[in-house]
Structure 1
């Protein structure tokens, strides 16, 4: 990890000059300032905001970055990781990105500057700068889906395809043929934006699984809409009802999206599950309180939290190398799916 002395040496200045540039003091000449900033960028140097504390004792602080703390899935992940971390004697510093790659990079820089012992990045988005910063700083890190394993970086892959397979098989066994996949993605991005890896993984999983059930007569459809969870789900299902071929079941890419789908179907006078069966993904705590209670794919939060902290603590305390792990998913059955009523095509005209 680069130090202030490395920056000073590369820029051919004193450490006091480097400190003055970092702290925004205007006593440094423009030419010298540019040289120092260039050295900082080249070395990926991060100011040590907690140097005085570190001089006294080793920091037992883990950083945690999520995409959206208001999303129940990310909130529940944060709670699980915090509980596991505290059991191992660590505290958590939390940040969220609002699905912005720019905010992700900034959050990583702040965490590295805080000298966290390790960093958990549980985000949908990714940016190549993140890996550059982590490798330069040698801060142990663990990702959900979007990471590349090396000496200090671990990656936990969620078994999306296994979860989607269980959903589709369940719906096919009930008698459904026309199955809609409701995909949403953050505003100011496109549905094909590669950094939104977990969204693409869930979508690709549905497409692959649908092909496996082709002989069973499956007619898969995908509807996409840009926006935040429930609202985007609501608008997506309106779009599907107006433009997609009649369907008897819908799979939402995430539970907040399913909440919006449920609302949209209700607005159009379509009953769940009597006329359209609905399944969510993530199995957030909200599922059992919806009407009807939502069948959903479960990503085990406790298991994920334990994997994250075990990876970080193993690297921090025992210098264990990064590793690739897989987290299995399960289907939790509730009351939002049933047999299609006479296999009817349920396309309806838009209400006025």
Structure 2
């Protein structure tokens, strides 16, 4: 079995230099790191996770908290994070909260007890007192998609407000005036930002938004379906809607089609996230694209860079804000004229 000593001897480097390079430490130059990793690969070196944990006093495990791993947005984020972790010799522990505050608290407690090396948070109840405690522990931490408002933390995601604005402008440019907003949970910071951008776009076009056209629910196809039916019954004048995510939009599309409402000829629908089902034949949803997998990769690399710098709490935090992009497909058109 090839060891770090073997690589050090082959490259005429010290044991500590090779060890630091294999752990992507910023204390080693990029040139040396590349030499070490190439040699390790050619020599068939396999890191001993248990030995590394003992030497570095680390578990080699990074946690990620997601509210719904079955939602393609969050599974794509987790996939990107896992790939980035494996490339750097770490494992990912996925904690699925199912949008349940009690289960979320259970996972946060578990994370502290298991002494993981760092934490990614794709969504969490910002009022959870356990979260504030974790932040104070100086555990390397990155928020994904939804920033934490009361602390200076690492963040990766899009600015959701311009994304909402793109949707509002697209629908008003098509000529829609009676437009609804169907959200998931409105205590979600990212949903609040999407909603704010949507409302601003309407205001810029001098269109007064009827607040009764705001519906809330869950981030699911079922919830979108139920709200689609409610919208048709209560607000027949509405000709278009922005859904807070693609699952809600697909549920609304199903409700419309079952009741003989043609999309987009009679009713326009726009989603958010551009998950894989959005582009499928028969759906072809107009939506806002997010770099989901890239978010996970970037977040993991930020976290591991901080971890390998010694987890210095005074280290400058990073915020990477990606640009949203409107993807126009077949669920939006000018309003139908009688």
TM over 0.5: yes
Pairing 1:203–2:174 present:
no
Structure 1: 4+ residue segments shifted above 6 A: 50-53
Q: Distance in 1 between matches of 2:132 and 2:124?
A: 18
Taking structure 1 as the reference length, the TM-score comes to 0.73
Q: CA deviation at 1:312?
A: 0.4
1:289-304 equivalent positions in 2, closer than 5 A: 289-304=280-295
Q: CA deviation at 1:251?
A: 1.1
Q: Distance in 1 between matches of 2:180 and 2:141?
A: 36
Match of 1:334 in 2: 329
Task: Give the number of aligned pairs.
Answer: 283
Q: CA deviation at 1:218?
A: 5.9
1:1-352 equivalent positions in 2, closer than 5 A: 54-55=53-54, 57=56, 58-123=58-123, 125-144=125-144, 145-148=146-149, 153-185=153-185, 191=186, 194=187, 196-214=188-206, 217=207, 219=209, 222-227=213-218, 229-244=220-235, 246-318=237-309, 319=312, 320-342=315-337, 344=338
Q: CA deviation at 1:136?
A: 4.1
Distance 1:148 1:178, change over 3 A: closer
Q: CA deviation at 1:200?
A: 2.5
Q: Distance in 1 between matches of 2:50 and 2:194?
A: 42
- Please report the RMSD computed on the Cα atoms of aligned residues, expressed in angstroms: 2.5
Taking structure 2 as the reference length, the TM-score comes to 0.76
The 10-residue stretch of structure 1 (271-280 or 243-252) with the greater mean CA deviation from structure 2: 243-252
Q: Distance in 2 between matches of 1:150 and 1:124?
A: 14
Tell me, yes or no, if the aligned pair for 1:149 and 1:323 is still in contact at 8 Å. Answer: no
Match of 2:46 in 1: none
Structure 1 residue matching 2:183: 3-state secondary structure: strand
Tell me, yes or no, if the aligned pair for 1:234 and 1:257 is still in contact at 8 Å. Answer: yes
Q: Which consecutive residues of structure 2, in runs of 5 or more, have no partner in the other structure?
A: 1-48
Q: Distance in 2 between matches of 1:125 and 1:339?
A: 39
